[in-house]
A and B are shown apart, each in its own frame.
Chain A
C-alpha cells in the first residue's frame, strides 16, 4: 500500500493558478527588462522644419509623392485639418519662419504631444545620447547663452528690417517719382509729338532698372537679416544639437512675454515683404526673359507655376535648383531629445504653396510601435507557451493517478479478482481508492461465498443423482435407459441453474477465434449425438470473444431450437462490419408479443411439454451483450429465427 502523503486537489489547483500568475509576472517582467520602452515613432518638434524641408527637397527631386519610413510628403488641394494646439504653436511659427510663410499658411497638428522623457525611446545610436548628456548647470548656461544669442539675432533682424523698410520706402518714392516724371514727359510728348514713343520705352526700361536696383538692395537687406538669423540658428544647432532649441522651448514654457512679443514682431514684417521677392526671384531664375509684365505688387500667385510645385523655400538665401539628393531624408529626428523638447507623433504639417495648394507632411501608421507591440506579444506568447507546457505536465501529473484510478476501477468492475486499486495521488483520490478496495474485498468475499454455495449445491444435488445412476445399473436394461434419461434431465436442470447462478460473462479471457469453426463444431457435436443440426456459412470469420462463452451462447440457442422443433439450422454471414448468426428452427415460432419476454430468466414459452429451467436464452443474451452484440427473435421460414449480431 502506498503511504505517500497526498495533497488535496485544491492544493494542486492552487499551484496551477500560482503558476499562471507567476508566468504572467515573468512575462511582464521580461517585457519591462528586455524590451525598451514602448517607442512611439516620435519626431522632435524642433526638427520639424528641417525635416519638412529635407523631405520636400527629396520629393521634388523624385517628382512624386514620397513615403519615407512612415512619413509622407504630398501635395493636395485641401489643407490638412487645422487643430488648435497650444503646444505646437511654437513649432508652427518656426516652420512658417523657415519657409518664409505667414503663420496662417502653416498648419500643424499631432496626435501625441509630450515633453516627457518617458516618451523618448531608445534608438540604435545610443552613443549619441550618452555623449549629449550634460549637467544641469551647463544646460542653464547654454540656455542663457542661447537666450542671449537669440536676442542678439532678434536685434540684428530688427535692424535689417528697418533697413529694408527704408530701402523699400526709397524704392517706392523713386518709383513714384520716375512714374510721375515719365507721365509728365509722356503727356508732354504726346501733346507735342507722338514719335517719341521709343524715348518712353527707354524711360520705362530705365525705371525698371532703377526699380530692380532698389529691389536688389532691399532683397539683399532682407536676405542678410534672414541669413543672420538662420546662421545663428544653424550654428547653435550644430554646436549643441538639441540644446539650442531647448533654450527656446524652455522660454516658451516658462512664460516669458518678451519672447512671445519678440517672435510676433519678428514675423510680421516678413509677411509683408517676402512674398514679393520670391516671385521676382523665381521668374528671374526660371524665365529671365519676361520682364515685359511688370507685375503689380500682388502677393504670391505667379502667373504659371513653372516647377511642379512652386517651392515655398525660395525665400532662402541659396535657392539652388533642386538637385536630386543622394539619399532620402534621414529618419525622423527621433530621440534622444533633451528634456523640454516637444516630441510629437501622429503629426500632420501643412504649408501652403504659392499656387494655393498644400504641401503636407504627415505621419501615417506608426510602424515602430507596431513592431514593439509584436515583440511584446512574442514575449507574452513565449511565456504562455512555456506555461502551457508546464501546466500540461502538471495537469498530467494531477490526472495520471485519476486515469489509473479509473482504469483500476474499471478492471475491478470487470474482474473482481484483479489487483486492488493503488492508493496514490491527491488525497480525495486516495479516499476513493480506499473505498473501492473495501468494496472489492467485499465483492470478492461475496463471490467466494457464491462459489462455495454453488459448489455445495452442485455436490449435494449431483451426488444423489450419481448414486441413483449407479443404482439404475442394477435395473433391467429397459428401465435403466428410462431412468438414465430422467436422471440426465434433472442433471441438465441442475446444470442450467448452476450455470446461470455462476454466470459471469466477463470472467473469461477474450481470444481471437474462428466463429465458423465454432459453429461447425457445435453442429457436428449435435449431429454426432443424432440431432438434426446443420451449419452453413462462409469459410472463416475471425472475431474476438470468449471461446467458452460463445460456445455456450450458440449451444443454448441450438438447444432452445431443438426444444421447440425437430431441426436447427445455423447460418452465418458478415453484414456492414457486423457478424450475423441466425439459428432457425422448424418449430411453431414465437409470437411477436412474447419475443422479449422469453429472454427473461425462468420464462418458458409453453409450460407443458417443454423441458429446462428457462434460463438458456437469458444466459445467451447476457453473453451476447457482454460481447457488444445482441440477440433478437424474428420470423423464420418455418419457425422461429434467433438472430445473433456480434461486432466483427
Chain B
C-alpha cells in the first residue's frame, strides 16, 4: 500500500451511507489505509460534518432515505466541493454514466472490493492534485472528443470509438496532463490499479493500442514517444 508521502496530514474522507454496517466497515477500511475517516447517515448529517470538519473526499451512497445521493451531488457541484466517489447499489453502465454525468468523480457499484475503493479514492485525490482539468464531462483534442462519463471516444467524424477500460484510463491520464513527459511508472500509477501486477511493457502495449485508435486517420502524432523517458501527449485539450 502506498502511503500519502507528500502530505503532512492524512487525507480526510467523509463516508455517507444509510447502512450502519457499511459505514462502519468503510471507515475501518479507510483508516487502515491511512485516511482520516468519518461518516454520516444521511445527506443532512453529511453536510453538517462537511461544514464542521471539512473533507478531502466524499464517498456517497446513491440510494438513501431523504435526499438521495444524486441530488446531493448535483447540489454540491460547482462550489469548490471535495471530489465525490459514488457508491451505489445500481451497477449498470447506464447508472454509472448518469452518476458521472451529474458530477461524480468516480462511480463504484456495490458490492465492491474495499481495496479497489481505496485505490480509486487515491486516484481521485491524485487527479485533483495533479490534473489540469478535472471533473470535466468531455475533453476535446485534435478533433477527437473524449466523453469522460461514458468512457467513449468520438473521432472527428463523430463516430464512437469504444475504448477498453485500460485505454480509457490511459487516455484520461494523458489528457489531464497534456504536454508533459510522463514516465511509464507515472502512467502505471495514474492509469492502472495499484494492486494489478502490470509491468512497464503493458504500458507500451496499451499506448500502442491507443495510438492505433487515435491515429488511424492520418492525423498528426498525438502521443509521442520520448526516448528513454516515457510518453508525451502532444496536443492541448480543451473542455
Contact = CB atoms under 8 A, between A and B. Distances in A.
B199 to A, nearest CB: 13
A512 B154 CA distance: 9
Nearest to A519: B162
B162 A517 contact: yes
Contacts of B155: 514
A500 to B, nearest CB: 11
A487 interface: yes
A604 B5 CA distance: 52
Contacts of A459: 63, 89
A499 interface: yes
B224 interface: no
B152 interface: yes
B159 A542 contact: yes
Contacts of A484: 113
B160 A513 contact: yes
Given A470-B21, A514-B162, A524 B113 contact: no
B77 to A, nearest CB: 22
Nearest to B21: A467
Interface stretch (B50-58, B90-98, B175-183): B90-98
A259 B139 CA distance: 117
B209 A499 contact: no
A524 B209 contact: yes
B19 interface: yes
A455 B63 contact: yes
Contact of A513 (B26, B28, B114, B159): B159
B29 A473 contact: yes
Nearest to A515: B162
Contacts of B25: 467, 470-471, 473
B110 A470 contact: no
A528 B165 contact: yes
Nearest to A540: B216
Contacts of A513: 159-162
A528 B112 CA distance: 19
B166 A528 contact: yes
B239 interface: no
| Chain A facing B: main interface SS | helix
Given A463-B19, A473-B25, A521 B91 contact: no
A130 B89 CA distance: 104
Given A455-B63, A466-B112, A521 B160 contact: no
Contacts of B161: 513-514, 517
Interface string A499-532: 1001000001001111001101110110010000
A469 interface: yes
A470 to B, nearest CB: 3
B160 A511 contact: yes
B22 A514 contact: no
B164 interface: yes
B94 A548 contact: yes
Given A463-B19, A470-B25, A524 B91 contact: no
A491 interface: yes
B110 A462 contact: yes
Contacts of B90: 455, 458
B150 interface: yes
Contacts of A499: 92
B91 A462 contact: yes
Nearest to A555: B93
Interface string A433-455: 00000000000000000000001
A542 B155 CA distance: 11
B89 A517 contact: no
The interface size bin for chain B is: 35 or more
Contacts of A491: 91, 111
Contacts of A521: 162-164, 167
A463 B162 contact: no
Contacts of B109: 462
B176 to A, nearest CB: 20
A539 interface: yes
Interface string B15-51: 0000101100110110000000000000000000000
Contacts of A468: 111
B163 A465 contact: no
Contacts of B113: 469, 484
A552 B162 CA distance: 12
Contacts of A571: none
A488 B158 CA distance: 36
A547 interface: yes
Contact of A525 (B21, B110, B112, B165): B165
B213 interface: yes
A398 interface: no
Contacts of B111: 462, 465-466, 468-469, 487-488, 491
A407 B157 CA distance: 29
B204 to A, nearest CB: 14
Nearest to A504: B94
A513 B213 CA distance: 12
B205 to A, nearest CB: 9
A187 to B, nearest CB: 135
A498 interface: yes
Contact of B89 (A462, A528, A540, A547): A462
B143 to A, nearest CB: 15
Nearest to A546: B160
Given A469-B114, A484-B113, A540-B216, A517 B163 contact: yes
Contacts of B152: 547
Given A470-B29, A491-B111, A514 B167 contact: no
B162 A502 contact: no
A174 interface: no
A63 to B, nearest CB: 84
Interface string B88-129: 011111100100000000000111111000000000000000
A532 to B, nearest CB: 16
B167 A512 contact: no
A495 B92 CA distance: 8
B102 to A, nearest CB: 16
Contacts of B216: 539-540
B160 A514 contact: yes
Given A471-B25, A521-B164, A463 B159 contact: no
Contacts of B164: 520-522, 524-525, 528
Contacts of B163: 517, 521
Contacts of B19: 463, 466-467
Given A471-B25, A517-B213, A540-B216, A512 B91 contact: no
B26 A470 contact: yes
Interface string A357-389: 000000000000000000000000000000000
B22 A463 contact: yes
B159 A466 contact: no
Nearest to A468: B111
A313 interface: no
Contact of A463 (B89, B158, B160, B165): B89
A474 to B, nearest CB: 9
A551 interface: yes
Nearest to B68: A455
B92 A502 contact: yes
A505 to B, nearest CB: 12
Cβ-closest 9 pairs across A and B: A470-B25, A513-B160, A524-B164, A521-B164, A462-B89, A518-B162, A465-B111, A466-B110, A469-B111
Given A470-B28, A512-B157, A521-B162, 18 more contacts: A462-B110, A463-B19, A463-B110, A465-B111, A467-B21, A467-B25, A468-B111, A469-B114, A471-B21, A473-B114, A484-B113, A487-B111, A491-B91, A513-B160, A513-B162, A514-B161, A514-B162, A520-B209
10 contacts: A455-B90, A462-B110, A462-B111, A465-B110, A473-B28, A512-B157, A520-B164, A522-B164, A539-B216, A548-B97
